[in-house]
């Protein structure tokens, strides 16, 4: 922080310097996590190190509050995750013997399609801004996963109930 203030004493502490320090701390944290798991190559290490050591630059302007970062991929990533979860269930039981497994697969794929269609909201800036202003994006994804969890357990309950009834 002192180096930033020494480089340009006219900068206010908040929000400029605090934003830069926070962004650099986050970059250092991400680099250490990636490095710990062996995911950081030399190019990534060099880029993040340059980002951290440069006074000013991108670290001063990267600000989630100002809207430079976007959460648009969150819905898409959630849809891809649920689709892959359904695919994993299909591969795990290559020839599903019970109807509830098919129900689980199709319910996951249906929820993935719903979340995928919600990504179309990102094409309309006014709707997307309204979602961001109301902070409901995380709630949409959370509700989708809770509904999926409930459907899966409902299917398991129905399947076990039917098994007991048959025996």
Shared domain check, 54 and 109: no
**What is the reported pTM?**
0.50
The total of structural domains in the chain comes to: 2
Owner of token pair 């959460």: 71
pLDDT in tens, the chain (167 residues): 555 555 555 555 556 556 677 777 777 887 888 788 787 788 888 888 887 777 666 665 565 445 444 556 777 888 888 899 888 888 887 776 667 778 888 888 888 888 888 777 767 777 777 777 777 777 877 888 888 888 888 888 887 887 788 77
CA-based end-to-end distance of the chain: 71
SS3 call for 137 = helix
For residue 167, being part of any structural domain is answered with no
Shared domain check, 107 and 35: no
Instruction: Report d(CA 42, CA 27) in Å as an integer.
Output: 15
Shared domain check, 157 and 98: yes
The pLDDT of residue 121 is 73
The answer to whether the CB of 27 falls within 8 A of the CB of 59 is yes
Shared domain check, 96 and 156: yes
**Which range of residues forms the domain containing residue 31?**
2-61
Shared domain check, 111 and 148: yes
The pLDDT of residue 166 is 77
The pLDDT of residue 111 is 86
The pLDDT of residue 124 is 76
For residue 66, being part of any structural domain is answered with no
The pLDDT of residue 29 is 81
Shared domain check, 143 and 118: yes
Shared domain check, 106 and 38: no
The pLDDT of residue 139 is 81
Q: Give the list of residues 6+ apart from residue 44 with CB closer than 8 angstroms, or none.
A: 31, 34
The pLDDT of residue 137 is 75
């Amino acid at each position: 922080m002192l180096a930033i203030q020494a480089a340009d004493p006219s900068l206010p502490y908040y929000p400029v310097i605090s934003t830069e320090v926070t962004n650099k701390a986050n970059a250092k944290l991400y680099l250490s996590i990636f490095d710990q798991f062996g995911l950081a190559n030399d190019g990534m290490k060099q880029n993040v190190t340059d980002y951290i050591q440069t006074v000013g630059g991108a670290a001063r302007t990267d600000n989630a509050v100002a809207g430079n970062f976007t959460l648009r991929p969150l819905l898409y990533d959630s849809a891809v995750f649920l689709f892959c979860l359904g695919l994993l269930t299909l591969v795990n039981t290559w020839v599903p013997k019970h109807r509830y497994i098919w129900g689980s697969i199709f319910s996951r794929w249906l929820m993935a399609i719903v979340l995928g269609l919600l990504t179309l909201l990102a094409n309309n800036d006014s709707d997307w801004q309204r979602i961001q202003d109301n902070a409901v994006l995380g709630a949409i994804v959370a509700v989708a996963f809770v509904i999926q969890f409930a459907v899966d357990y409902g299917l398991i309950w129905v399947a076990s109930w039917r098994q007991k009834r048959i025996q």
